[in-house]
């Protein structure tokens, strides 16, 4: 593989599109494919837009999947069968959960490619800024080959173990994100129902040990009714379901996440699924 690999990126949605742009701007040849071609066409200034998965992956050193769920990932990679280069690395960056990552690893073995499980921490803005945190897991001998890709999309990359460990850590981190998100929504709602200006909660914790940039960001969005999706409410619900599924497999007793899940589902059922996950506040 050359110092700058040829990259095929499959899935040019909220996360995939800015990742593809940053990889291209780092000097790598990039091919992109998306089920709805118009989303991929927006990258025509920096990447080769392909009509088929097969065309995108032909001869690519690194194939990246950034898709909604495991079924979509598996279906897409089946379309790559017979067109993947010898020595190709499949960099699976979608959040799919523990069981599905093991299933995709088996598919990679069947396809004859090296599998690296590498979900990311961050949403739309960090993706645009190349400031994601990559949670990579897979064979040690591909770390150097993937370094240019990780440097292009992220501010940090952690190698956390064998393939599948990345998904496990992503679920752990997402459990915390969901807890903070719903905690902010609950506190703002309680302040409102107690007859207070909810903004007082954000002011009270601002700059102290109980504060975090995420608290102020999502809290301000909730109060302003600004729900342009950095990460959708439906996506948050999907990921929380993966957390609950993983916990059930290990017998872990999660005290907060089941309640968070109920609130997220309520927001989706109310028609807010395509809005930012801060829109959980609308269903309180």
- Six token digits for residue 167: 């998904």
Per-residue pLDDT band for 258 (boundaries 50, 70, 90) equals: very high
Each domain of the chain, given as residue ranges in start order, spans 7-161, 168-283
Tell me the average pLDDT across 58-62: 97
Helix (H) or strand (E) holding 116: strand 114-117
**Identical fold at 7-161 and 168-283?**
no
Instruction: Report the half-sphere exposure of 34 (CA within 13 A, side-chain side).
Output: 22
State pLDDT tens for residues 62-100: 999 999 999 999 999 999 999 999 999 999 999 999 999
State pLDDT tens for residues 172-198: 999 999 999 999 999 999 999 999 999
If one compares 134 and 1, the residue with the highest pLDDT of the two is: 134
Q: How many residues does the chain have?
A: 284
Tell me the average pLDDT across 200-220: 97
Instruction: Report the half-sphere exposure of 47 (CA within 13 A, side-chain side).
Output: 32
Looking at residue 3, what is its pLDDT? 75
Q: Is the per-residue pLDDT at 2 higher than 50? A: no
Which spans in the chain are helix H? 16-25, 37-41, 53-57, 70-78, 98-111, 124-129, 143-153, 165-193, 199-205, 213-224, 233-250, 257-267
Per-residue pLDDT band for 1 (boundaries 50, 70, 90) equals: very low
Topology given in CATH for the domain delimited by 168-283 = 1.10.1040
The domain 7-161 is classified under which CATH number: 3.40.50.150, 3.40.50.720, 3.40.50.300, 3.60.90.10? 3.40.50.720
Distance from the first to the final alpha carbon of the chain: 52
């Amino acid at each position: 593989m050359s110092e700058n690999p040829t990259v095929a990126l499959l899935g040019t949605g909220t996360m995939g599109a800015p990742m593809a742009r940053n990889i291209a701007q780092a000097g790598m040849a990039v091919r992109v494919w998306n089920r709805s071609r118009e989303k991929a066409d927006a990258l025509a200034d920096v990447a080769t837009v392909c009509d088929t998965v097969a065309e995108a992956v032909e001869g690519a050193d690194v194939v990246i999947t950034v898709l909604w769920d495991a079924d979509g990932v598996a279906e897409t990679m089946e379309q790559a069968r017979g067109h993947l280069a010898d020595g190709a690395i499949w960099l699976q960056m979608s959040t799919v959960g523990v069981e599905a990552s093991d299933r995709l690893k088996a598919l990679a073995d069947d396809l004859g490619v090296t599998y690296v499980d590498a979900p990311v921490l961050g949403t739309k803005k960090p993706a645009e800024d190349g400031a994601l945190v990559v949670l990579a897991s897979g064979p040690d001998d591909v770390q150097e080959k993937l370094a240019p890709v990780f440097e292009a999309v992220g501010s940090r990359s952690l190698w956390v173990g064998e393939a599948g460990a990345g998904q496990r850590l992503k679920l752990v981190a997402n459990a915390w994100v969901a807890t903070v998100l719903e905690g902010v929504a609950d506190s703002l709602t309680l302040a409102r129902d107690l007859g207070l200006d909810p903004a007082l909660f954000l002011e009270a914790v601002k700059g102290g040990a109980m504060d975090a940039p995420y608290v102020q960001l999502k809290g301000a969005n909730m109060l302003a009714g600004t729900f342009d999706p950095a990460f959708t409410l439906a996506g948050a619900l999907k990921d929380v379901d993966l957390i609950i599924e993983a916990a059930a497999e290990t017998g872990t007793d999660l005290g907060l996440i089941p309640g968070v899940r109920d609130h997220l589902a309520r927001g989706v059922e109310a028609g807010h699924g395509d809005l930012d996950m801060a829109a959980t506040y609308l269903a309180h």
